[in-house]
Amino acid sequence: MNKEKNRIIIVLTGFCMLFTILIGYLSYFQVFKAEAVKNNSYNKRLWLNEENVLRGSILDRNGRVLVYSEKNDKSSTRYYKYGNLYSHIIGYSYREYGKAGLELAYNNALLNINENAAINEIKNLVLPSSVGNDLRLTIDHSLQEKARGLLKGRKGAIVAMNPRTGEIYAMVSLPDFDTSNLRENWKSISEDPNSPLLNRATQGLYTPGSVFKIITTVAALETPELEKHYSCSGTTKIDGYIFKDYNSKAHGEVDLKKAFVKSCNTYFAEKSLIIGKEKLGNTAEKFMFNNKISFDLPTKISQFSYKGNIGKTDLAASGIGQGKTLVTPLNMAMVASSIANDGVMVKPILVKEIVNKDGKILRTNKTEILSTVGSSALTNEVKEMMMEVVQSGTGTNGRIKNVKVAGKTGTAENPSGNTHSWFVGFAPAMEPKIAVAVILEESGTTGGQGAAPIARDIIIHGLNNIDFRE
């Protein structure tokens, strides 16, 4: 009898343990993994209303339709009007390959699904809306076309944005892919070694090179004890490692401004040791390094290593944007924007509004402050230096007639052997309306030769074609 009772107890205990494990497992997913599961592009629940709801359109800032759907007899067809042009922004929505880009991020809005309450989920299943909501982007179609045309045939990325509002005017990543022919070309696209599915603008991590000197300069200006003068011989040895200026050219006697304008590596390498890792690291983090940038598309975190045991060589390399320092083009556009915006860094915005079928605005993404990188007086000093870079320094190919441009070039060494070419800047310098970051991946050219002319043409087109009224 006792054996029978013990057996029953053991069985019941086992069931209780299994039940507890099941509850714990389900709770884990509900609490910790719910968002990831919900947004998984292969989650079948994302497709529940696809047959019943005409997916909303996606438009540029001027109302130009970029993507739309048309109802067929038993289903609907999604039309991507501009093929490659928006492949990394809008992404795609295909049953076979899932969803990506804004099609994934704003899936519920495009299908007019209320994602908050369980009762509304039931309502959506029983009485779903027949028409989804539209997305109005901050993108200017003409500038998007211009940017892709300038980048065509190269690997890299361009980001153009409003430094005061955070609105993204153009965002291009190459190589890209044709969203309208995804079914026919999926195998070749997904297996391409050049990674056309990767959005280099938001997820590409690159050595910044000398464009990072913007951040080092802010840190230098906030270090009162730093001796700003330096005698440049073209090379300097730090812990046995030789740092060189471009072509080992000696700049002679320089102060901070001249060193910035001439992009003197030895100056910033030496001064970074005096600034110190904590100051340099904390300044980098104000510019959102080591921090997640909240955005409408997935982003990688820019990296600046300064905690722990950092040697002098590593610190010096970090100060000139080399070593382990990595950044996304989006983040670098935000760095330039924060200098343009008197030291205030704002959150980037890609989707301006969600609008229902009746034209009612359901949601507006408003400007949000992410960080204050420095005082207005301090960032104005950096702005003056960036203006001189374009006027007489390494960025003269970024000059525009009758428009003051502020900028910084970068030529970044990387493991591939061929240098990345960078330019970041904004204009008009004293009343900034557009900020831009350009990277030419493994171009083998200097920032002044390769990236600066592209940035110049982006700025010219933007200033001539975008309505900047807020």
In tens, the pLDDT along 174-207 reads 999 999 888 899 999 999 999 999 999 999 999 9
Asked if the 44-135 domain carries CATH number 3.40.640.10, the reply is no
Instruction: Retrieve residue 66's tokens.
Output: 């970029």
Give the per-residue pLDDT at 29.
Answer: 45
pLDDT tens column, 350-382: 999 999 999 999 999 999 999 999 999 999 999
Residues 86, 80: Cα–Cα separation, whole Å? 9
pLDDT tens column, 106-143: 999 999 987 554 444 554 555 555 899 999 999 999 99
Q: Minimal CA–CA distance to 347: which of 424, 293, 303, 425?
A: 293
Instruction: Retrieve residue 78's tokens.
Output: 């999604």
pLDDT tens column, 402-444: 999 999 999 999 888 899 999 999 999 999 999 999 999 999 9
Q: Is the pLDDT of residue 51 over 80?
A: no
Is 414 within 8 Å of 389 (Cβ atoms)? no
- Beta strand residue intervals within 356-443, DSSP E: 361-364, 369-372, 406-412, 420-427, 434-440
- Percent of the chain whose pLDDT exceeds 70: 86
158-352+367-465 topology per CATH: Beta-lactamase (3.40.710)
Give the per-residue pLDDT at 27.
Answer: 52
Give the per-residue pLDDT at 436.
Answer: 98
Average of per-residue pLDDT across 450-462? 98
Residues 300, 2: Cα–Cα separation, whole Å? 62
What does the CA dihedral 205, 326, 388, 168 come to, rounded to 10 degrees? 40
Instruction: Retrieve residue 301's tokens.
Output: 């975190």
pLDDT grade, residue 23 (50/70/90)?
Answer: low
Instruction: Retrieve residue 113's tokens.
Output: 């699904």
158-352+367-465 and 44-135 share a CATH fold? no
Decide the pairing of beta strands 134-137 and 58-59.
parallel
Residues 52, 430: Cα–Cα separation, whole Å? 52
- What are the two backbone dihedrals, phi and then psi, of residue 176, each rounded to the nearest 5 degrees? -125, -160
Average pLDDT, the chain: 90
Give the per-residue pLDDT at 114.
Answer: 73
Tell me the Cα Rg of the chain.
Answer: 26
Give the per-residue pLDDT at 365.
Answer: 95
Q: How many CB atoms lie within 10 A of CB 278?
A: 11
pLDDT grade, residue 33 (50/70/90)?
Answer: very low
Average of per-residue pLDDT across 328-332? 98
Residue ranges covered by each domain of the chain: 2-32, 44-135, 158-352+367-465
- Percent of the chain whose pLDDT exceeds 90: 78
pLDDT grade, residue 146 (50/70/90)?
Answer: very high
Average of per-residue pLDDT across 151-157? 96
| 31 sits in which H/E element | helix 2-31
pTM: 0.88
